[in-house]
């Protein structure tokens, strides 16, 4: 297994419990042994196990059957393997059937075949981890908000979405600012879909991908004979988008001469195709985007100040980078797994908690686009139905814990980011001891366990 599963062993005799622990690979499991059903139930409430290996035949109350029932009540994703005396497995199955309990994973007869034990515990652990990971991601998805394909959980993203919804119904030009890969075009599409122009054309022009000589023709169009190769009249994207929206991506890379022509177009509602003096009118809503600091480009003389203020009349929608809204990552992972299954014909059922933890901790310089590419690749190349640590790319497979050095700069981070980092570093300080960490943090152990689960650290 690629991550450690927590196995609770409930054995009537201390020596039996020690033998069971010794039979399991030390690197693959974290084991805890108890000798009574009462202690087992207390342990289940303290830390939910992935697998329970328990004697069915405890005398008195509570019994091994009670351990099974309480495990499934507290943690439905946990798997239970019951130990029976040789020849009593059928009787045990009948007892469970009469009790209406059919949630046991498997049985093992005594004396225990340790090779069979390792095999059954290994399969049960994988199933439990897959179910736990899927449940966590589904819970996150259920609590998320979504608008026009934009999905998230964080307050920073929610705030920008609210601004988007307010501005979308206006006629104003809108500027979107965000790093490469944050989803600026998706935001532009959301603006269009939530505006009065929804259903009309939506056209896209990447200003950085077109040469300066072709940019004017692409935007404004040209007439036959305007230049070599212009064998017929051609509408520009502005005219093609008439009645709808045009998205000018990477507008910070637009040459200064074109900026002047664009400004005139924004002010007059007119286009002048290349090669003619015939003015043509249009009704288009402009949405521009950039990964540059336009104010800095204005100071450097690389961007027109008047165009900057025209674009910035209502302020900019600022898409936070993924590293500043890590609570959105589990939601995005679930969505991308679903998309990958649909588009690639894969059948991934879930993502292990350890994979989620590493994905949440990674810095994501390529933002949401990079995360999507990683998940699609993992789904395509995964050996089994559960995405495991071994399926991660090399740069994510190693330790990706966020390590703070000295006094961190917390500016721009959400309170959830700060809390998560603080919990991680406190756990590191106490060598992973959760009880000591909870005491140092001034919270109860159960509160700490809940936060670890919520942040994908458990």
CA distances, 397 to each of 362, 374, 394 (Å):
10, 12, 5
Do 234 and 124 lie in one domain? The reply is no
Segment of 28-42, 59-73, 83-97 carrying the highest mean pLDDT = 28-42
* Residue 281's CATH number: 3.40.50.300
Containing structural domain, residue 134:
5-141
Q: What is the pLDDT of residues 186-217, one digit of tens each?
A: 999 999 999 999 999 999 999 988 888 788 88
Do 251 and 372 lie in one domain? The reply is no
What whole-number distance in Å separates Cα of residue 338 and Cα of residue 340? 5
Residue 16 inside a domain? The answer is yes
Higher pLDDT, 435 or 243: 243
Q: Which of 301, 318, 335 is a domain's end point?
A: 318
For the chain, how long is the longest CA-to-CA vector? 98
Do 173 and 98 lie in one domain? The reply is no
What whole-number distance in Å separates Cα of residue 62 and Cα of residue 55? 12
Residue 424 has pLDDT above 80, yes or no: no
Do 93 and 238 lie in one domain? The reply is no
Residue 1 has pLDDT above 50, yes or no: no
What whole-number distance in Å separates Cα of residue 231 and Cα of residue 223? 8
The mean pLDDT value for 393-412 works out to 56
CA angle 317, 323, 328 (to 5 degrees): 75
Do 303 and 234 lie in one domain? The reply is yes
DSSP 320: P
Predicted pLDDT at 402: 47
- Percent pLDDT > 70 in the chain is 85
The mean pLDDT value for 234-251 works out to 92
Residue 148 inside a domain? The answer is no
**Bond before 143 cis per omega within 30 degrees:** no
* Residue 448's CATH number: 1.10.10.60
- Distance linking the first and last C-alpha atoms of the chain: 16
Residue 301 has pLDDT above 90, yes or no: yes
Residue 411 has pLDDT above 60, yes or no: no
- Could you tell me which residues are beta bridge partners of residue 367? none
- Residue 256 near residue 238, CB atoms below 8 Å: no
For helices 353-361 and 114-143, the axis angle rounded to 10 degrees is: 50
Do 225 and 162 lie in one domain? The reply is yes
Predicted pLDDT at 58: 59
Do 161 and 89 lie in one domain? The reply is no
Residue 56 has pLDDT above 90, yes or no: no
- Token pair, residue 108, equals 């093992």
Query: pTM value?
Result: 0.66
Higher pLDDT, 423 or 116: 116
Confidence of residue 400 (pLDDT cuts 50, 70, 90): very low
Q: Considering the chain, what is the average pLDDT of its residues?
A: 83
Sheet holding 79-85, edge to edge: 29-34, 5-10, 51-55, 79-85, 106-110
Q: Which of 374, 396, 418 is a domain's end point?
A: 396
The mean pLDDT value for 128-153 works out to 79
Q: Which of 396, 424, 444 is a domain's end point?
A: 396
- Token pair, residue 183, equals 């989803």
- Residue 294 near residue 312, CB atoms below 8 Å: yes
- CA nearest 391: which of 49, 110, 3, 63? 3
Confidence of residue 251 (pLDDT cuts 50, 70, 90): very high
Do 198 and 313 lie in one domain? The reply is yes
Predicted pLDDT at 92: 64
CA atoms within 13 A on the CB side of 194: 21
- Residue 82 near residue 107, CB atoms below 8 Å: yes
Higher pLDDT, 335 or 443: 335
Residue 223 has pLDDT above 50, yes or no: yes
Helices (H) and strands (E) in the chain, counts: 19, 18
Which run of H or of E encompasses 247? strand 245-249
Do 332 and 289 lie in one domain? The reply is no
- For 29-56, b/e burial (b = at least 16 CB within 10 A) is bebbbbbebeebbebbeebbbbbbbbbb
- Residue 140 near residue 325, CB atoms below 8 Å: no
Predicted pLDDT at 243: 94
Do 235 and 294 lie in one domain? The reply is yes
Residue 91 has pLDDT above 90, yes or no: no
What whole-number distance in Å separates Cα of residue 50 and Cα of residue 135? 13
- Could you tell me which residues are beta bridge partners of residue 215? none
Confidence of residue 458 (pLDDT cuts 50, 70, 90): low
Residue 345 has pLDDT above 70, yes or no: yes
Do 297 and 204 lie in one domain? The reply is yes
Predicted pLDDT at 408: 45
- Percent pLDDT > 90 in the chain is 35
Predicted pLDDT at 188: 96
């Amino acid at each position: 297994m690629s991550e450690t599963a927590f196995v609770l062993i409930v054995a009537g005799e201390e020596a039996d419990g020690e033998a069971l622990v010794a039979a399991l690979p030390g690197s693959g499991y974290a084991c805890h042994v108890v000798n009574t059903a009462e202690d087992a139930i207390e342990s289940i409430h303290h830390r939910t196990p992935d697998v329970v290996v328990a004697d069915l035949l405890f005398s008195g109350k509570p019994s091994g059957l009670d351990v099974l029932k309480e495990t499934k009540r507290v943690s439905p994703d946990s798997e239970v393997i019951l130990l029976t005396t040789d020849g009593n497995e059928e009787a045990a199955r009948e007892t469970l059937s009469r009790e209406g309990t059919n949630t046991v994973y498997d049985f093992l007869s005594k004396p225990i075949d340790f090779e069979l034990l390792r095999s059954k515990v290994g399969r049960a652990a994988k199933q439990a981890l897959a179910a736990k990971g899927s449940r966590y991601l589904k819970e996150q998805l259920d609590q998320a908000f979504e608008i026009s394909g934009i999905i998230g959980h964080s307050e920073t993203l929610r705030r920008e979405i609210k601004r988007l919804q307010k501005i979308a119904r206006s006629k104003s030009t809108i500027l979107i600012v965000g790093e490469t890969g944050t989803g600026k075009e998706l935001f532009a599409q959301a603006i269009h879909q939530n505006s009065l122009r929804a259903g009309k054309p939506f056209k896209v022009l990447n200003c950085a991908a077109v040469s300066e000589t072709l940019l004017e023709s692409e935007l404004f169009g040209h007439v036959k004979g305007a230049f070599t190769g212009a064998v017929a009249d051609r509408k520009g994207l502005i005219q093609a988008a008439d009645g709808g929206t045009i998205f000018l991506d990477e507008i910070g890379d637009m040459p200064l001469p074109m900026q002047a022509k664009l400004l005139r177009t924004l002010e007059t509602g007119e286009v002048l195709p290349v090669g003619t003096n015939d003015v043509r009118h249009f009704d288009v809503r402009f949405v521009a985007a950039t990964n540059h600091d336009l104010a800095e480009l204005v100071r450097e003389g690389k961007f027109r100040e008047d165009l900057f203020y025209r674009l910035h009349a209502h302020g900019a929608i600022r898409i936070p980078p993924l590293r500043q809204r890590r609570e959105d990552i589990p939601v995005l992972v679930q969505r991308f797994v679903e998309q990958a299954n649909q588009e690639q014909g894969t059948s991934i059922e879930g993502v292990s908690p350890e994979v989620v933890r590493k994905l949440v901790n990674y810095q994501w310089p390529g933002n949401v686009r990079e995360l999507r590419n990683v998940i699609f690749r993992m789904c395509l190349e995964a050996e089994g139905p559960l995405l495991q640590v071994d399926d991660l790319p090399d740069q994510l497979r190693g330790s990706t814990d966020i390590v703070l050095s000295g006094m961190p700069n917390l500016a721009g981070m959400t309170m959830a980011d700060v809390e998560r980092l603080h919990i991680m570093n406190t756990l590191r300080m106490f060598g992973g001891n959760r009880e000591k960490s909870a005491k140092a943090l001034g919270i109860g152990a159960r509160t700490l366990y809940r936060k670890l689960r919520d942040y994908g650290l458990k």
